[in-house]
Amino acid sequence: MSGDKPTTGGYTAPRNPVGLILFLLALHVLNQIDRQLVAAFAADIMRDLALSRSQFALIAGLAFSGVYAFAALFAGVLADRLGRVRVLSYGLGIWSLFTALAGLAQGFWTMLAARPFVAAGEATLVPTASNIILARVDDAHKAAALGLFFAGIPLGIGGGFLIAGALGPMLGWRGTFLLMGGLGIIALAALVRLKDAPPDLSHRPTMAGNLAALLAVFRAKPRALWASLAIVVAHFHTATSPFVQLWLTSEKGYAPGPAAQLYGLMFVTFGLLGTFGAGLLGDWAKRRFGLDRAATMFVLLLLLAPLLVLYRLTPGGTPLFLLGMAGSILFMTVIYGPIFAIIEELLPPRLKATSTGLNILVLNILAIGGGALLIGLASEHLAAAGSAQSWTLPLLGADGLALLAVVFIFLAMRSPRQIAD
């Protein structure tokens, strides 16, 4: 990786700072672990707090993702106005504190009260950190750099389940929540020392102004719109992840501990292959053959689509089931580096954090939050009716919606490849 060093307001930012990306990756891992602890300890939390399926779905889904969605949009605009490191520092402090407090919850309402604060803090990470990286990495390596950062998703999700399996018997879910919150406060001491370029205030960013400008870009450059829709609907499959342990234990024959350890190990292994591997593949295909990153994504998603169905319908513990689980994890993780790089190249710098925030808002409200709530309600209804597949059928329905990403990324591939004005 090579390139000149950009200068902004007297601040010289190093190009392709591997150490910086690794630090932001570590924050992303912590962010995802703290988010996934509720899913990783689902059975224990439901038992100890006497939660119904729909109550758990609300805590794991909309109570988090609804707040996360709007907070991410505000974080993107605030980052463009106040500075990325400053906004991220406040966010890290908030999510770490309330992760620890969630470990003290005594019932549905106290856990429900903590989750929005965790969400609001965590929402600052992606709009700020991803755009710090994009500002410092040359175009030939942007998808790989973002893929490395988004490797925090599989490392964090998988790590959350592995931590639940390893630390749960020793610390319990409450002690684990307290421990992870404390680690975040320690990380904050390092984050506040991070240097970054000051924000460009020449355009005086506002929420309404940035959103209007972004919508104008979507009208003029439909490729950005199709790519954004692809990443949104793909997250209907991500909405199934809070229910994995419950599904594995109730319908696939796994005990809670082995279920958490299996899914955690698989998510770390194949999630890393998905995030970092897809980013490297997209960059390599573009450099070597001039292949559009959208075309690379279309082929990958098309190949993975049948594995989602295989995952839901084959017996647990079989080789085909494990192949389906690998495909499910890859489907969740290949999208980030290439698709965000597709969108980023179409936008002026002043809209990039706002665009990331808007995408996070829509995918969390529509796909992750709404999808999780519908899964929980449908599962509760099917269980009351005596269905033996009260988790499988709602999860399969969410998977079907996620497959619309194949259509949208195809439309992005067919749209003109423009660059930012």
Supply φ then ψ for residue 7, to 5 degrees.
Answer: -120, 130
How confident is the prediction for the chain on average, in pLDDT? 86
- Cα–Cα distance, 314 to 10 (Å, whole number): 59
Which of these ranges, 200-209, 243-252, 253-262, has the smallest mean pLDDT?
200-209
The answer to whether 10 and 200 have CB atoms below 8 angstroms apart is no
> Quick check: 2 pLDDT over 60?
no
The confidence band for 197, taking pLDDT boundaries of 50, 70 and 90, is low
> Quick check: 356 pLDDT over 50?
yes
Domain 14-195+205-414 carries which CATH code? 1.20.1250.20
User: What residues have CB less than 8 Å from 284, skipping those under 6 apart?
Assistant: none
pLDDT tens for each residue of 25-47? 999 999 999 988 888 888 889 99
What is the pLDDT at residue 90? Answer: 92
- Cα–Cα distance, 399 to 238 (Å, whole number): 9
User: What residues have CB less than 8 Å from 161, skipping those under 6 apart?
Assistant: 36, 39, 40, 245, 260, 261, 263, 264, 267
- Cα–Cα distance, 402 to 363 (Å, whole number): 11
What is the pLDDT at residue 421? Answer: 57
> Quick check: 295 pLDDT over 90?
yes
Q: Please state whether 2 falls in left (phi above 0), alpha (psi between -120 and 50) or beta.
A: beta
Residue of 113 and 147 predicted with greater confidence: 113
The confidence band for 201, taking pLDDT boundaries of 50, 70 and 90, is low
- Cα–Cα distance, 149 to 381 (Å, whole number): 39
What is the pLDDT at residue 395? Answer: 97
Return the number of other C-beta atoms located less than 10 Å from residue 182's C-beta: 14
The confidence band for 7, taking pLDDT boundaries of 50, 70 and 90, is very low
User: What residues have CB less than 8 Å from 9, skipping those under 6 apart?
Assistant: 197, 198, 200
- Strand ranges for 21-131 from DSSP E: none
> Quick check: 196 pLDDT over 90?
no
What is the pLDDT at residue 419? Answer: 65
Whole-angstrom CA distances from 90 to 129, 184, 324 are 13, 12, 39
